[in-house]
Every structure is written in structure tokens, then in C-alpha cells.
Amino acid sequence: MITHLIFVILLIVSFGLFGYNIWKVRYNILLGHDINRSDNAGERWKTMLLVAFGQKKMFSRPIPALLHLALYAAFVITQIELIEIIADGISGSHRFFHLSLGGFYTFMISFIEILSVAAFIGTVAFLWRRNVLKLPRFTMQELKGWPTKDANLILIMEIVLICFIFTMNGADEVSKVLQSNVGYGFTISQYVGPLLFGKINSLETLHLLEQIGWWGHVVMVFTFMNYLPYSKHFHIFLAFPNTYYSNLDNKGKFTNMESVTNEVKLMLDPNADPYAAPVDAATPKRFGAKDVTDLTWKNLLDAYTCTECGRCTSSCPANLTGKKLSPRKIMMDTRDRLTEVGENFRKQGKDYVDGKSLLGDYITEEEVWACTSCNACVQECPVNIDPLSIIVDLRRFLVMEESKIPTELTGMLTNIENNGAPWQFSPSDRLNWANEE
């Protein structure tokens, strides 16, 4: 009875903390200004199913894709076993669904065990790639310190969890054989169990080992669940809404500020009265973005969804030529700044100003201007994150509010204004080359 009470308290506390952490993340994301992503629901569902559920973009790199698929499938399917563990913990039963499901139950647990083995192989491979092979995209400056520890910690937690699963099932398998000469017949445990615990003839000892595996599984799952909101692995949940709210426009299409567009239309309208008061011309709080609260909620959702895989940075032509820009760092900096701002607002109120900003304190002007706007980072991201939209808004702020622009671009913009083209000659001279002999 005491163990049941402990389990129920642990269950309530764990889900309560998880709910609170989710609320904090939602609060932070909604600090961004609004953007409409409710159109074309059919296309959005299709995108989510293909990209988030189907892992479509992962397979541009087959080896990590297959390894990731093993972990992903194991995570999704093993939640079925978690349902039984919760039922057992609350009711005090043992293998709650075994009798009612019969052979199908054996099949499902066996399938989960096979996926767990595949996940174990994938986890070891990922640890090897990060810490022994030291792939270049995992050794960049932005991953120094906590990001690397976070990635390794979550992989180690996966291995520990899998060990608890096979301790639970293996000891239970041997115990079942001792009692009835017939085990459960789980595909992996029927061999692993006797190999590890076959020499133990005490039912009490086997039951203790099974309980260690069971409670270890429970504690690891609840710990993992509440660690996720502080980890890059939060994409396990956020990949689905993030891909649903993807930008469905062509990648080369830039957004225009409505206030600026209206002014340009007014200037180009020969029938407009230049002295008339503007209609519904709400002055924007800021042109572009200086801090995270100037970005859209989708930009902020992107930041929380970032997997820190580095595919964006490894494909970025600016980064490949040695420039400081790293699209992954842009997203990590945005998330770190958003977490800081959200915490300040919850403690001090939304009027609190800490004297810091995303641009300047986290992301430098050099990084922003290094971007070629090629959309390689957007194309490569396995969960449809858009670092370019953040970079463009940061540049807009620099140009439209700070009047800061690299000298290399100043001449080009002057030529566009005066000549209608980036080149320093008039439109009438543009085709003179065709008349040359």
C-alpha cells in the first residue's frame, strides 16, 4: 500500500512539474508578436506527417537518419509499456494487460524489446560520433560546455533506461519460468533473462531485481520528462506543432512590413492626397527586431524546437568560408535570450528592462551581415526551423532604426535608388554592351 501511495505521489508531482514547465515555455513563446499560420490546414497536416512523423528530411543523410529512426521509434512505441506501468503502479497489479491481451501482449512487449535493442545501438553510435569521431559539426564553438554535456547526458539516460527495461523483463521472465516452467516468451528477455539471472533460484531475489528495474524505469521516465523542457531534446514534442506551422511560401519570398508597404503604395498612387491623415496606420513598435519580443511567436517556437544537430551550419556557405555566422548559434542564442527574458518578466513584470538585447549581447552585427540569404539552413533543417527570418528582422532593425549598413552595400543601395539597378550607370546605358563590336 505504501509503495502504491509513493507511486501516485510521484506521478502527480512529475506531471504537475511537467505541466508547469510547459506553461512557462508557452508563456515565453507567446511573448512574440502575432503571425497568422492558420491557413491551408490540409497542406499543414501533410507537412507535419511527412517531416515530423515521417522523418522525411532526415534521410538526406541516411546513416544518422537510420540511427535516429531507431531512437524515435523506440520512444514512440515504448509509451505503450509506460501506460501499463502507470496502471500497475496505481492498481498494484502485475502486468495489467497480460491476461486480457494474451498473445498480442507478448507480441507488443517483444516488439518494444527489439526497438529497445535498436535504440541501444543507435545511442552508442551517437555517443561514439560525438565523443570519439568528433564530427566537425559537433565540435563547434557554440556547443562548448553545457550543450555538449546536455547531448551526452540524454544519451546516457537512454542507455540507463534500456538497462532498467531489460532488468525488469529479464528477472520477470526467469521468475515466471521458476514458478510455472513457462516464461512470457518475450523475444529478447527470454534469452537475456536466463543469461543474466539464470543462476538465481530465489523468487524473492528475482522479484527484488524486477522491482529495481520497474522503479528504475519509472524514475528515469519521470526524470526524463521533466528534464526535456530544459534540453535541446524538447524537439521530441515541439517538432509536431513546429512543422505544422511551417512557412508554406516559397523559400525565396521575403515578408514585407505592412506599415512600410502602405506608405509605398500611398507614394505610388497618383490619386492619393499626400496631406490626408493616414487611415488605420498603426505605428509599429519597432522596425525589424532588436530583442526576442520583437520576433514572432513562430520564431520563438523555432528556437525551442532547435535540435542543435548542426545541419544548418554545416550547409551554410558563409560558415563554410570561415565567417562567424552559424545558423544553429542564432537559434540557440534566441532560445537562451528568450528564457532569460521570460524569467525576468515572470518575476519583475513585463515592464522590466534588463539593459540587454538579442542583437548585440547575444548575436553580433558581424554574424547578421555574413548571411547570404540563400535559405540553405531552412532547406536542411529536419524540423523546418527558419533562422533566416530572424536574421532578416535583425538586419531590418539595423538598417531602418540604427542606419547601420556595411559600406559594401551602401553603394549598391544608392545605385538602386538612383538608377533602378545595383550598377553605377543609368538605365538607358544598360544595354550599350550589345552594340559593341
Instruction: Assess whether 131 and 232 both reside in one domain.
Output: yes
pLDDT at 330 over 90: yes
How far is CA 124 from its chain centroid? Answer: 21
The answer to whether residue 427 is domain-embedded is no
**Same domain membership, residue 288 and residue 217:** no
Whether residue 118 sits in one domain with residue 211: yes
Please measure the distance between the N-terminal and C-terminal CA atoms of the chain and give it in whole angstroms: 99
Could you tell me if 149 and 98 lie in one domain? yes
| Residue 263: inside a domain | no
What burial letters (b/e) apply to 403-419, b meaning 16+ CB within 10 Å? Answer: eeeeeeeeeeeeeeeeb
pLDDT digits (tens, 9 = 90+) for 133-175: 998 889 899 999 999 999 999 999 999 999 999 999 999 999 9
The mean pLDDT value for 26-54 works out to: 92
Same domain, 238 and 293: no
Does a structural domain hold residue 296? yes
Shared domain check, 182 and 311: no
Looking at the domain assignment, is residue 372 inside a domain? yes
Residue 136: inside a domain: yes
CA 180/CA 194 separation, integer angstroms: 15
Q: Are residues 25 and 156 in the same domain?
A: yes
Radius of gyration of the chain (CA): 28
Taking the model in full, what pTM does it have?
0.87
107 and 194 inside one domain: yes
Range of the domain at 214: 2-30+61-244
Residue at 303 is within a domain: yes
Cα distance between residue 299 and residue 302, in whole Å: 5
Residues 289, 183, single domain; the answer is no
The yes-or-no verdict on residue 328 having pLDDT over 60 is yes
- Averaged over 175-184, what is the pLDDT? 84
What are the tens digits of pLDDT across the range 348-379? Answer: 988 888 889 999 999 999 999 999 999 999 99
**% of the chain residues with pLDDT over 90:** 52
Based on the fold, state whether residues 186 and 74 are members of the same structural domain. Answer: yes
CA distance linking residue 368 with residue 389, whole number of Å: 11
For the cut 80, the answer to whether the pLDDT of residue 67 exceeds it is yes
Q: What's the number of domains the chain is made of? A: 2
pLDDT of residue 180: 82
Mean pLDDT of 405-415: 84
349: amino acid identity, one letter: G
Asked if 189 and 300 sit in the same domain, the reply is no
244, 270, 304 - which closes a domain? 244
Q: Is residue 148 assigned to a domain?
A: yes
Single-letter code of the amino acid located at 234: F
CATH number for the domain harbouring residue 398: 1.10.1060
Bigger pLDDT: 272 vs 228: 228
Which residues partner with 359 through β-bridges? 363
User: Is the same domain home to 293 and 235?
Assistant: no
Quick: pLDDT tens for 90-143: 888 888 888 888 889 889 889 999 999 999 999 999 999 999 999 888 989 999
Per-residue model confidence (pLDDT) at position 437: 60
Q: Which residues contact 234 (CB under 8 A, 6 or more apart)?
A: 25, 228, 304, 305
Is the model more confident about 267 or about 403?
A: 403
Across 150-179, b (16+ Cβ under 10 Å) vs e yields bbeebbebbebbbbbbbbbbbbbbbbbbee
341: DSSP letter: H
For residue 259, tell me if it sits in a domain. no
